[in-house]
Amino acid sequence: MRTNIDIDDQLLEEAFPVSQVRSKKDLIHDALKEYILLPESCTNHLLRLEAP
C-alpha cells in the first residue's frame, strides 16, 4: 500500500546509523516489523505515550 507520511528528519538521522538499511522505505519496514514483535505490554505502554 502506497502511503505518504511526514517523518521527523531527526528521527531518521538517529535511526539510520543503528540500522542495516539504506532506504527510508526499508527503515520503516524494519521498524514496523520490530514493533509487531514487541510484547503486548510494551505496545500498550507505547500507545499511551503522547506524541511530542
Select the more confidently predicted residue: 51 or 46.
Answer: 46
Q: For the segment 38-49, what is each residue's pLDDT rounded down to a tens digit?
A: 877 776 776 676
Supply the pLDDT for residue 31: 93
The answer, yes or no, to whether residue 51 has pLDDT greater than 70, is no
Q: For the segment 11-45, what is each residue's pLDDT rounded down to a tens digit?
A: 999 999 999 999 999 999 999 998 888 877 776 77
Q: Is the entire prediction scored with pTM above 0.75? A: no
Q: Where are the domains of the chain?
A: 22-52
Among candidate residues 47, 45, 19, the one with its CA nearest the CA of residue 33: 19
Q: For residue 29, what are the CA distances in angstroms to 9, 10, 25, 32, 52?
A: 17, 18, 6, 5, 22
